[in-house]
Amino acid sequence: MTIVLFVIVALLALGVHFFMFEMTYLWYTQVEEARLMRGIYAAVVVVIVVLWALFPSRIAVGLVGLFGLYFPHLIFASDSRPLLGREITLAGIGVTLVSIALLVVATHFRHKWKRAL
What's residue 117's pLDDT? Answer: 66
What is the chain written as a DSSP string? -HHHHHHHHHHHHHHHHHHHHHHHHSSS--HHHHHHHHHHHHHHHHHHHHHHHH---HHHHHHHHHHHHHTHHHHS-TTSTTTTT----HHHHHHHHHHHHHHHHHHHHHHHHHHH-
What confidence tens digit (pLDDT) does each residue in 82-94 have? 777 677 888 888 9
What global pTM score does this model have?
0.90
Domain parsing of the chain, residue ranges? 2-116
Q: Is the separation of the CB atoms in 68 and 41 below 8 Å? A: yes
What confidence tens digit (pLDDT) does each residue in 19-68 have? 999 988 888 788 999 999 999 999 999 999 999 999 999 999 999 999 99
